[in-house]
């Protein structure tokens, strides 16, 4: 069981930032990543649909025999985290809690901005967790076009910068000193976001903090891969074309992702390398 893969799930390519952080901190661990590109983006969809899509993907990962689930999608985490933790026997790690804890310890003036998809912001998952601390003021803003840009492989255009200026202006005027990137796609746009917000604003991304949570869970449950483990990283997508996912992954992350397989969620199948 210790050499079984960690299962990582996102609506598309954004969760690759989390996968990369986990790999950096836990280089002996195998990973199985599924991007639900057939239903991406999740942000504008009804919460009931997001919950159904997400649980189908997680069911598939569990059927593959993963030892842990990582929900590398803020919209899915806000829609079905409790369901996932009650549904599966393996540990479940998500991206919202780690980012919240980091933002709380980072802010100096108590004014925190949160950006995310319409689904994440509408769920108030971040706002409710942060506002438990009465000294904090939270300013939330949905940025739906950010995911569209990343999924199209556009991260550094004049249009991206113009949209960032429009979305982030209210947060700049609110004098936030910490900004939570409440979507795993957003680190790919960190250059534009940081430029607009200015150097005095700290950006909090969930990828590294989530990887730390994964490490803690594996250690506490004695699930770390053995010293002689031969790690394998497998990437799957649910859309019509694995080539589209692969091209976009190469555009965003270089050649880290070498192969992508198409998968039908809800169907039990066995991957080569994880028999």
- Check residue 270 and give its pLDDT: 43
Structure tokens that stand for 250 in this block: 């190469």
Assign 266 to helix, strand or coil.
coil
**The CATH fold of domain 6-93+208-262:** Rossmann fold (3.40.50)
Angle (CA) 24 30 35, round 5°: 85
Task: Tell the residue number behind the tokens 């709380």, with chain if given.
Answer: 104
- What single-letter DSSP state applies at residue 200? T
Residue 262 φ/ψ, nearest 5 degrees: -80, 140
Q: Which of 183, 204, 223, 237 is catalytic?
A: 183
Task: Give buried/exposed letters for 38-50 (b at 16+ CB in 10 A, else e).
Answer: bbbbbbebeeeeb
- Check residue 274 and give its pLDDT: 53
Cα Rg for the chain, rounded, in angstroms?
18
CB 129 within 8 A of CB 100: yes
Question: How crowded is residue 128: how many other Cβ atoms within 10 Å of its Cβ?
Answer: 12
143 flagged as catalytic: no
- Check residue 155 and give its pLDDT: 92
pTM above 0.85? yes
Assign 120 to helix, strand or coil.
helix
Q: Hey, do 6-93+208-262 and 96-206 end up sharing a CATH topology, with the first three levels equal?
A: yes
Rounded distance, CA 174 to CA 197, Å?
11
Chain-centre distance for alpha carbon 230: 25
Structure tokens that stand for 33 in this block: 């990543």
The DSSP bridge pattern shows strands 31-35 and 178-182 to be: unpaired
Q: How far is CA 46 from CA 43, 95, 213, in A?
A: 8, 20, 29
pLDDT tens for the chain, 275 residues long, are 688 999 999 998 889 999 999 999 999 999 999 999 999 889 899 999 999 999 999 999 999 999 999 999 999 998 998 899 999 999 999 999 999 999 999 999 999 999 999 999 999 999 999 999 999 999 999 999 999 999 888 999 999 999 999 999 999 999 999 999 999 899 999 999 999 999 999 999 988 889 999 999 999 999 999 888 899 999 999 988 888 888 888 887 777 788 888 887 755 444 444 54
Annotated domain spans of the chain: 6-93+208-262, 96-206
Structure tokens that stand for 263 in this block: 């998968």
Instruction: Write out the H or E segment, with its range, that includes residue 171.
Output: helix 158-173
Q: Which of 70, 73, 140, 203 is catalytic?
A: 73
CATH 3.40.91.50 fits domain 96-206: no
Chain-centre distance for alpha carbon 91: 17
183 flagged as catalytic: yes
């Amino acid at each position: 069981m210790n050499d079984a893969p960690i299962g990582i799930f996102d609506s598309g390519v954004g969760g690759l930032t989390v996968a990369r952080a986990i790999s950096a901190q836990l280089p002996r661990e195998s990973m199985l990543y599924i991007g639900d590109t057939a239903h991406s983006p999740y942000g504008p969809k009804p919460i009931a649909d997001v919950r159904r899509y997400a649980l189908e993907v997680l069911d598939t990962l569990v059927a593959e025999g993963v030892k842990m689930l990582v929900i590398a999608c803020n919209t899915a985490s806000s829609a079905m985290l409790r369901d996932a933790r009650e549904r599966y026997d393996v540990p479940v790690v998500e991206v919202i809690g780690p980012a919240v804890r980091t933002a709380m310890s980072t802010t100096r003036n108590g004014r925190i901005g949160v950006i995310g998809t319409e689904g994440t912001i509408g769920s108030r998952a971040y706002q409710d967790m942060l506002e438990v601390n009465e000294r904090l003021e939270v300013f939330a803003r949905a940025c739906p076009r950010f995911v569209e840009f990343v999924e199209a492989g556009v991260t550094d255009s004049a249009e991206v910068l113009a949209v960032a200026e429009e979305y982030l202006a209210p947060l700049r005027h609110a004098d936030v000193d910490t900004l939570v990137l409440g979507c795993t796609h957003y680190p790919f746009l960190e250059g534009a976001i940081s430029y607009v917000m200015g150097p005095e604003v700290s950006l909090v991304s969930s990828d590294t903090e989530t990887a730390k949570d994964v490490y803690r869970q594996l250690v506490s449950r004695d699930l770390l891969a053995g010293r002689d483990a031969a790690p394998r990283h497998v990437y799957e997508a649910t859309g019509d074309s694995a080539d589209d996912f692969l091209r976009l992954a190469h555009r965003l992350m270089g050649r880290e992702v070498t192969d992508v397989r198409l998968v039908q969620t809800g169907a039990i199948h066995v991957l080569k390398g994880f028999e």
